Amino acid sequence: MKGFSRRKFLQAGSGMAVASLVSGKHVVLAQEQAGSPQSSSGGARVRFASIGIGIQGSNLLRNAVSQAECVAACDLYDGRHTLAREIAGPNIKTTGCYQEILDDKNIECVLVAVPDHWHKQITLDALSAGKDVYVEKPMSHSIADGEEMVQAVKQSKNFVQVGSQRVSSLLFGKAKELYDGGAIGQLTQVELLLGRNSPSGAWQYPWPPDLSPQTLDWNTWLGKAPKRPFDPETFARWRRLREFGTGMAGDLMVHLLSGMQFASGINAIPDRATSVGGIFRWKDGRDMPDLQVTTFQYGQVPVTVRLTQETETPEITRLMGPQGVIELSKSAVTLIPQSGLDTSPDYGLNGFPAAMRAAYEKQWHAAHDAELAKYALPDVSVWHGPSWDDVKPHLANFFDAVRTRTPVVEDVVFGHHAAAACHMANAAYFEGRTVTA
Determine if residue 142 is left, alpha or beta; phi over 0 gives left, psi from -120 to 50 gives alpha, anything else beta: beta
User: pLDDT tens digits for 122-154?
Assistant: 999 999 999 999 999 999 999 999 999 999 999
Q: Tell which wins on pLDDT, 20 or 412.
A: 412
* Domain boundary, last residue among 132, 148, 166: 166
CA dist., res. 215 & res. 213, Å (int): 6
Average pLDDT over every residue of 54-83: 97
Average pLDDT over every residue of 315-319: 97
Give me the pLDDT at residue 43, please.
Answer: 56
Whether the predicted pLDDT of 37 surpasses 50: no
Question: What percent of the chain stands above pLDDT 70?
Answer: 91
Residues 266 and 401 in one domain: yes
Residues 146 and 260 in one domain: no
Whether the predicted pLDDT of 268 surpasses 60: yes
- Tell me the pLDDT band of 263, cut-offs 50, 70 and 90: very high
* Mean pLDDT, the chain, whole residue set: 91
User: pLDDT tens digits for 328-376?
Assistant: 988 899 999 998 888 888 878 888 999 999 999 999 999 989 888 877 7
Of the listed ranges 107-116, 195-204, 206-215, 365-374, the least confidently predicted one is 365-374
Helix axes 79-88, 55-64, angle to 10 degrees: 20
- Tell me the pLDDT band of 121, cut-offs 50, 70 and 90: very high
* Domain boundary, last residue among 111, 131, 166: 166
Residues 161 and 173 in one domain: no
Residues 120 and 176 in one domain: no
Which of 62, 117, 410 has its CA nearest to residue 267? 410
Whether the predicted pLDDT of 40 surpasses 70: no
Whether the predicted pLDDT of 35 surpasses 60: no
Average pLDDT over every residue of 109-122: 98
Which domain range does residue 72 map to? 47-166
- Tell me the pLDDT band of 39, cut-offs 50, 70 and 90: very low
Which of 189, 126, 194 has its CA nearest to residue 161? 126
Give the chain's domain count: 2
Whether the predicted pLDDT of 41 surpasses 60: no
What is the b/e burial string over 186-207, where b = at least 16 CB atoms within 10 angstroms of the residue's CB?
A: ebeebbbbbbbeeeebbbbeee
Residues 69 and 194 in one domain: no
Average pLDDT over every residue of 17-24: 46
CA dist., res. 112 & res. 66, Å (int): 18
Q: Is residue 60 one of the residues assigned to a domain? A: yes
Residues 118 and 151 in one domain: yes
Give me the pLDDT at residue 345, please.
Answer: 86
User: pLDDT tens digits for 376-435?
Assistant: 777 899 999 887 778 999 999 999 999 999 999 999 999 999 999 999 999 999 999 999
Which of 205, 198, 193, 195 has its CA nearest to residue 282? 198
Give me the pLDDT at residue 405, please.
Answer: 95
Give me the pLDDT at residue 19, please.
Answer: 42
Residues 177 and 152 in one domain: no
Q: Using alpha carbons, list the distances in angstroms from residue 217 to 71, 80, 110, 221, 430.
A: 22, 12, 21, 6, 31
Whether residue 138 has a cis bond before it, omega within 30° of 0: yes
Q: What is the CATH number of the domain that holds 424?
A: 3.30.360.10
Average pLDDT over every residue of 217-224: 98
Give me the pLDDT at residue 358, please.
Answer: 93
Helix (H, G, I), strand (E, B) or coil at 200: helix
pTM of the predicted model, to two decimals? 0.90
Residues 160 and 61 in one domain: yes
Q: Is residue 131 one of the residues assigned to a domain? A: yes
Residues 281 and 314 in one domain: yes
Whether the predicted pLDDT of 257 surpasses 50: yes
